[in-house]
């Protein structure tokens, strides 16, 4: 696992819009946007006898910001939300990344769990899902997650539809 200085030295993160900061073995990510997840997602949809090699996302609706006691943020009720961070990433062929919630969210009944960010994955703003089990207010640009990177053997670079 890489430490924060290695992450910064290797330029694994796109920090142009970053609000986060280095952690011991990762980098804190900040909340840019929250979306409500709709219905009807499709994975490898079959059309007749042909397998369509494409994932279709469910409908995402921006979840509105509110002002609570002079603080702008999201009042989230139990459910699953699509979230976007202010930070992006650019992974070479020998790095893989994962995102987990910070302990303060975890202690408040909220879990963030990402898929694998494969070697070659690049995006201006990373995103994943957040599972809210108890109503919570999260301030805009709050540090909510930590990305951590592992070294791996050089691999074929990701070149999928979500690049």
pLDDT (tens digit per residue) in 76-96: 999 999 999 999 999 999 999
Among the listed residues 68, 132, 122, 124, the one whose alpha carbon sits nearest the alpha carbon of residue 93: 122
Q: Tell me if 99 sits within 8 A of 146, measured CB to CB.
A: yes
Model pLDDT, residue 20 = 87
The yes-or-no verdict on residue 51 having pLDDT over 90 is: no
The rounded mean pLDDT for the chain is 88
Q: Is the dihedral of CA 11, 14, 15, 16 positive or negative?
A: positive
The yes-or-no verdict on residue 56 having pLDDT over 70 is: no
Q: What is the pTM of this model?
A: 0.84
The yes-or-no verdict on residue 62 having pLDDT over 80 is: yes
The yes-or-no verdict on residue 46 having pLDDT over 70 is: no
Q: Tell me if 118 sits within 8 A of 92, measured CB to CB.
A: no
Structure tokens given for 85 = 């961070």
CA distance 6 to 157: 21
Structure tokens given for 15 = 């920090």
């Amino acid at each position: 696992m890489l430490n924060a200085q290695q992450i910064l030295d290797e330029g694994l993160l796109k920090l142009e819009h970053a609000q986060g900061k280095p952690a011991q073995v990762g980098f804190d990510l900040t909340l840019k946007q929250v979306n409500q997840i709709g219905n009807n997602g499709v994975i490898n949809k079959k059309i007749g006898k042909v397998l369509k090699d494409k994932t279709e996302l469910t409908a995402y609706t921006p979840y509105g910001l509110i002002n609570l006691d002079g603080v702008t943020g999201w009042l989230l009720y139990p459910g699953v939300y699509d979230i976007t961070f202010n930070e992006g990433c650019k992974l070479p062929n020998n790095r893989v990344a994962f995102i987990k919630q910070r302990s303060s969210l975890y202690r408040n009944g909220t879990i963030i769990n990402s898929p694998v960010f494969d070697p070659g994955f690049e995006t201006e703003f990373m995103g994943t899902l957040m599972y809210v089990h108890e109503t919570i207010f999260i301030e805009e640009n709050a540090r909510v997650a930590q990305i951590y990177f592992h070294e791996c053997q050089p691999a074929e670079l990701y070149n999928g539809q979500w690049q």
